[in-house]
Each structure stands twice: as structure tokens, then as C-alpha cells.
Structure 1
Amino acid sequence: MKYAVWGLLLLSSLLLLVTVIRNRGAGRLLSALGLNVVVAAFLLYALNLLSAYTQVDLPINTATLGTVTVLGVPGVLLLVGLKLTLL
């Protein structure tokens, strides 16, 4: 099972590399997506640093990072609103 996962990771990485090499637009799309993920992680980290003042702490996991990556600052506000309302 372990070798199957590593093989799948290697194959998908190779196909991603081929796609980026063949299509320049895909490289720009991946770099923009990477930048959005970094900005989203920074926003969540900054919110967690300020949690002593705001009493709101959000975990940095796949779900929160994906939400903030797609929605940006409104995504952070959405997650804070859900945290305050539901929990």
C-alpha cells in the first residue's frame, strides 16, 4: 500500500510537470494558486496571533486554508462568523 501511494504521488507530479512545460498558462495558474495559498496561510496565522485580543482562534488545516484561499478576506470573516455562531 505504501508503494502504491508513493507511485501515485510520483506519477501525478510527473504529469503536473509535463502539463506546466507544455502549457505556459498552466504555470501562471499554478503560481497564482500557490500565492493565494501562502496569503491565506498568513491571514490565518495572523488571526491566530491576535487571538489573545479577539478570543477567536481558527485552526490552519485543509478546510480552513481552502476556504480562505478561494474566498480571501471574506472567507476569514465567514469562518469567524461560523466559529462564533456554531461553537
Structure 2
Amino acid sequence: MKERLTNIHFEIIRNSICTSREIADSVGDFILRCTTDSEFAEVAVALMKDDKDEVFTLMKKILNEAIWYMAEEQSEEGDSQEGKSDYDD
């Protein structure tokens, strides 16, 4: 169930990046938090080699991972809020 919810959040975030500056900024924050120095180094090496296909592939991977982490976090927040509402009665 949680993975399904995460997949839904992933698609919502991915489809909203182009239309929402706030979501794009949030994804940017996740990229900075979740991407390792070695992943950024791989992109830098590909840029220096002028290998545009490799740069695109690496950046797409980084972007998708950041969106996935963001979706997982939102799914966890949703789970914790559902648990709280049970106690409000």
C-alpha cells in the first residue's frame, strides 16, 4: 500500500514540476540533500567530455531519485497524519 501511495505521489510531483515553482524548488532542495558528491562528479566528468547523452542520463537519474525521496517523505507524512486522526475522536 505504501509503495502504491509513493508511486502516486511520484507521478503528481513529476507532472507538477513544470507548472509549480514551489514544487520545482522543493525538488531542487531534495536534489541537494539526496545527491552524493560522487554523483555530481559523474555529471561534471560527462560535461567535461561534452557527452550530452551521458549528462542527460545522469541528471534524469538524479531528478527521479530526488522525486522518489520526496514522494516517500510525503507518503510517510500521510501515514502519520492518518494515525493522528484516529486519536482525535
TM-score (norm 2): 0.39
Compare relative contact order (CA 8 Å, sep 6+) and give the higher one, 1 or 2: 2
Q: Which has the larger radius of gyration?
A: 1
